[in-house]
Amino acid sequence: MPPIPGAQEAVENGGILTSDTVWALPAPPKKLAVIGAGAIGVEMAQIFQDFGCKVTLLEAQERILAEVEPEIARTLSAILDDEPRLDVHTSAAVNKISGEPGAMKLAYTDSEGKKRNLTVDYVIMATGKRPVLDGLNLEAAGVASDRSIIGADSRCRTNVAHIFAVGDVIGGLMLAHTAAQQGRVTAATILGENMRYDQDKDCGVIFSRPQAAFVGVSVEQAKASGIDAVEVKVPMNIDAKAMINNETHGMIKIVADKATQRVIGVHFLADHADTLIGEAVMMVSANMTLEQVGEAIHPHPTQTELFGDMARRLLSRLRRSRKKAKA
């Protein structure tokens, strides 16, 4: 719970709901505010507007979904803002919360610095979660932690050689499949096998409409780690299957290492991204090259055709660049 004046009192009187307590609502409210536009906030905002609520989504950062590729996030934000009962406000700072369930009041400052007031039935606080280490008695075991995060290496080993930590308590991507993989890494390490967790090959899906998803890294993340990365993107509205199903919002991007032409990231804003991402996960985890993806035969009409098309486009672009450089 962020230190917003009145927030703790509103939790206690039931005016503020969380992803744990929202399920107890007897019926959809008429007006709802959602604070925080991460995965939970975005999903909740769209769900409740589908139920007929007038929803206001407030995010303190400049964009929604800090965990996804920037252009994907911006495009989804515009799509959400076009929903009939959903307003998205980024760079919005909530200053105070007051009231009772059915008549909650929010005071916030918008992106232009103007003071705004909002009255809703309920507020959903979706500003994220943090590890709770209370009761673990880490100090007695000599396990180091920093701001509620336990330090662990790629084998999930803490600073104490025989003690391992996995999942949300070690920070990073706080996702179920991430914790499961880290558990497997721990078990393998204990058995003397060579297995490591690599966040640069991890993935995630936000179940918005269309869905946002990612595996691997973005161009920005790659360049920050010293990789000369390039990307190719295509809009969903050029795909035959997307046109057939009238699911043309969004795009797909492939990110590759310019030197090795290895696929190091794939980013989605697409209906059925939760299914499409499976092939992308294999591309990144198997260190596949653009040539391998481009030469694979994809069936028509399917959205997977876009993978081969993008790989061939980017490969052709890189080849032309090399020829120009030599000339």
- Per-residue pLDDT of 49-76, as tens digits, reads 999 999 999 999 999 999 999 999 999 9
138-197: in CATH 3.90.1300.10: no
Reported as a single tens digit per residue, the pLDDT across 2-26 is 999 999 999 999 999 999 999 999 9
DSSP 8-state symbol, 147: T
In the β-sheet with 103-109, what is the strand arrangement from edge to edge? Answer: 93-100, 103-109, 115-120
Reported as a single tens digit per residue, the pLDDT across 270-279 is 999 999 999 9
pLDDT of 325 = 79
Q: What is the CATH code for 200-326?
A: 3.30.390.30
Q: Is the pTM of this model over 0.85?
A: yes
Distances (CA, A) of 310 to 230, 248, 260: 12, 17, 17
pLDDT of 273 = 98
Domains 7-125 and 138-197 agree in fold: yes
The domains of the chain are located at: 7-125, 138-197, 200-326
Look at domain 7-125 and name its CATH class: alpha beta
